[in-house]
Amino acid sequence: MEGKLLGIALYLIVIFYLGLKAWQRTKVSTDYMLAGRQMNPFILAMSYGATFVSTSAIVGFGGVSGMFGMSLLWLTFLTIFVGIFIAMVFFGKRTRRMGLALDSHTFPEFLGRRYNSKFIQQFTGGIIFIFIPVYAAAVLIGICRMLEVAFPAVSYGAWLVIVTALVAMYVITGGLKAVMYTDAFQGSIMAVMMVILVVTTYSMLGGVTEAHQALTDMVNLIPEKLIKGGLTGWTEGPAVKSPIGLTIYTTIIYGVGIGVLAQPQLAIRYMTVPSDRELNRAVAIGGIFILLLTGVAFVTGALSNVIFYKEFGKISIAIAEGNFDKIIPIYIDKIMPGWFSGLFLVAMFAAAMSTMSSQYHVGGTSLSRDFLEQHVKIGNSGSAMKLNRLGVTITVVATLVWAWLLPGGVIARATAFFFGLCAASFLPIYVLGLYWKGMTKTGAKVSMVGGFAISMFWLLFIHLKEAKPIGLCEALTGKVTLVADATPMSWMWLLQWVDPNVVALPFSLCLAIGVSLATRRLKQSHLKACWAGF
């Protein structure tokens, strides 16, 4: 206990020192929102990775892999190839150049100025501010569940307040500089701990081959409920045409793996570096970092079934008592050596704080810069800074409220929901705005609103994981989902497990292209200004 408290205390001292340095160097709005556009490739890569991968990936998705097995490693592949390589090379460079040419300070402002539309800026800012607290709450839940296991004397509710206050202090004062400085430090801690975790796990099981074979041989221990859902083994993928298969392949792998490209808290980082060279150098660093964090979390989560069964005669799901968000915390606390559990707790604390700080920052600046400033007259840079800090404070409070309201086992689902919503609403107009001069203002508006509407409709009336707990469909129609009465295992019945993004993203893309081909192009002078840096 004392070791864990000492580790967290030392960690917080460094964090607040970095936050203080950032606050001292934050003088104007560009410093607060874009870290002065002077970040080096290491800080960029580590901040990008630490923001992308948090307790929602390690605890939430790691727990999901404990239930569904190693098929989640496809998500690791997509996050490296799409989330790092494609994002940095094909999105990052153009975003940096166009953002500088248009003097954009936030992701909504970037889209608004690209299409010369205040509606697009405000609508984008509104979506981010309203929904990112749900994603941030999932991260907050993840770390507080770990702290609850490690320090049972302190209640879960108390941890929610304590962690929220700690992160809020340096984000509100230091802005994006504080976020990125602390992210780089936190990411380094996370990487080291994950290396130790995977080496120790395989060592306990006699090596890589022995560990995977032992997990394969446990196929007879898969619960009957999971077998009926489509799970065939923990080292092989589930049946595609099954509830579990559709959940893994459409919601987790596709939804998160593609949705990363339109994440506002990640896209803004492309604008924090002085040149394309930093983005090129960040690719290798970021790829290795993502591999260490997500790959290790998913492998360890799956292999925890073997270790739990050997130690307690139960698989991970039984140990976690039905809440797979607890699988990784219990594994660390009960199985790993005592000295490591304290260090890993610090690493997860770092993972949560790095992502939450970015979420608070992007949510707050979306509210202040992209919504409030459009309606409130700002006298000077100092007033803008105060408004930004107010926006961040409101986002922090909203996140805390959601964390209290959301049920257990929600971490992975909330993360996938936000990633998918951003992809359906923003990705088509973002990528086409970077590469196609024929993309029009009307096309962008219709695509964004249409993608958002279809995504929300599917979530509220079709997708069982959200429609059932929200209850709107049942209240209006008397059915849990609109397809609940279809023949079991028919294609229509299986739609309940198809992620909204599978339908909404192609629909949004078609709207963007079709409407743009039929409407007037933006003025040539505006397009010339957008491409001034190319």
pLDDT in tens, 9-52: 787 788 888 878 877 877 777 777 777 778 899 999 998 988 88
Burial 343-375, CB ≥16 within 10 A → b, else e: bbbbbbbbbbbbbbbbbbbbbbbbbbbbbbbee
pTM of the model: 0.88
Q: What is the pLDDT of residue 27?
A: 73
Q: Give me the percent of the chain exceeding a pLDDT of 90.
A: 44
Q: What is the pLDDT of residue 313?
A: 87
At CA 27, angle to CA 387 and CA 123, rounded to 5? 35
Alpha helices for 369-477 (secondary structure H): 381-405, 411-435, 441-461, 464-470, 472-477
Task: Tell me 272's DSSP state.
Answer: G
User: Once rounded to an integer, what is the mean pLDDT over residues 199-222?
Assistant: 94
- Domains of the chain (ranges; CATH) run 2-412 (1.20.1730.10)
Task: Tell me 523's DSSP state.
Answer: P
Task: Tell me 320's DSSP state.
Answer: T
How many whole angstroms separate alpha carbon 54 and alpha carbon 76?
14
C-alpha to C-alpha distances, 50 to 337, 350, 414, 445, nearest whole angstrom: 25, 9, 18, 32
Q: Categorize the per-residue pLDDT at 214 as very low, low, confident or very high, splitting at 50, 70 and 90.
A: very high
How many whole angstroms separate alpha carbon 172 and alpha carbon 340?
32
C-alpha to C-alpha distances, 468 to 48, 195, 412, 473, nearest whole angstrom: 34, 39, 17, 8
How many whole angstroms separate alpha carbon 57 and alpha carbon 409?
13
On the question of pLDDT at 410 being above 70, the answer is no
Interval 114-137: pLDDT, tens: 999 999 999 999 999 999 998 888
Q: Are 303 and 45 in contact (CB under 8 A)?
A: no
Q: Categorize the per-residue pLDDT at 518 as very low, low, confident or very high, splitting at 50, 70 and 90.
A: very high
The DSSP-derived string for 50-78 is HHHSSHIIIIIIHHHHHHH-GGGHHHHHH
Range name among 260-264, 367-371, 382-386, 438-442 with the lowest pLDDT average: 382-386
Interval 451-477: pLDDT, tens: 999 999 999 999 998 888 888 899 999
The pair of three-digit structure tokens given for residue 360, joined into one six-digit string = 């608070």
Q: What are phi and psi of 241, to 5 degrees?
A: -85, 70
Q: What is the pLDDT of residue 169?
A: 82
The pair of three-digit structure tokens given for residue 1, joined into one six-digit string = 């206990």
* Backbone angle region of 116, left / alpha / beta, with phi > 0 → left and psi within -120 to 50 → alpha: left
Q: What is the pLDDT of residue 319?
A: 61
